[in-house]
Amino acid sequence: MKRLLIIAGVLGGLAVLAGAGILLYRVATGPRMYHQENIRSYEALMPLPPAGSVPLEAAAGPPEAAAAVSLVNPVAATPENISRGETYYGYYCRFCHGEEGRGEADAGKGYLPIPAPLDSDRVRAMNDGQLVRAMLLGTGHQPVLARIVPVESCWHIALFVRTLGPAATAP
């Protein structure tokens, strides 16, 4: 009986040692955080903005800083780009500003004041850079749109907004 107990004790001790050994081995050689694909994807580099893009943060700074930035639309006003702009307008703007850009959409009507018309003289007088700044950071918007509308899509939307309203001439 005494012998049995000793054998059982030794076997138990060996099993614990073996378990600890296997665990140590797995920890030393097993997969690391940086081998995991879902972690590595966060290390991916973001694509560069299109050439000639203007940083909105700078444009949103003090007036002198804003004036110093040359706000030129880097996206050409081709029919294809305008129609892409129309699609993006459908994603991000139409439910407030409406089909015609007059604030006639259901979500827009809930605002006070309702979304400003996008075919107004005021909006027409803006250059594309000012228009993009107004659409991302202007009253009635901030700060959500600046976070969700990709910068490149803004320039397409600006091209499309130019075509809104009866007197607008598509470039």
**In this structure, what DSSP letter does residue 35 have?**
G
Nearer of residues 11 and 99 to ligand HEC, judged by Cβ:
99
Nearer of residues 37 and 106 to ligand HEC, judged by Cβ:
106
CA distance 163 to 171: 8
Nearer of residues 61 and 90 to ligand HEC, judged by Cβ:
90
CB of 33 vs ligand HEC, minimal distance in Å = 38
Integer angstrom CA distances of residue 12 from 18, 21, 110 = 10, 14, 73
Given a contact cutoff of 8 angstroms between Cβ atoms, the answer to whether 134 and 66 are in contact is: no
Q: Where are the beta strands (DSSP E) in 76-153?
A: none
CB of 69 vs ligand HEC, minimal distance in Å = 18
Applying CB under 6 A, which residues contact ligand HEC?
92-93, 96-97, 107-108, 111, 113, 115-116, 118, 120, 122-123, 131, 134-135, 138-141, 145, 149, 157, 161
Q: At what angle do helices 151-161 and 79-92 cross, to 10 degrees?
A: 110
For the stretch 92-98, contacts whose Cβ atoms lie closer than 8 Å and that sit 24 or more positions apart, written own/partner, are 92/145, 92/148, 92/149, 92/153, 92/157, 93/135, 93/157
Nearer of residues 26 and 122 to ligand HEC, judged by Cβ:
122
CB of 20 vs ligand HEC, minimal distance in Å = 60
CB of 45 vs ligand HEC, minimal distance in Å = 26
Nearer of residues 77 and 157 to ligand HEC, judged by Cβ:
157
Which residue has its beta carbon closest to ligand HEC?
140
CB of 66 vs ligand HEC, minimal distance in Å = 15
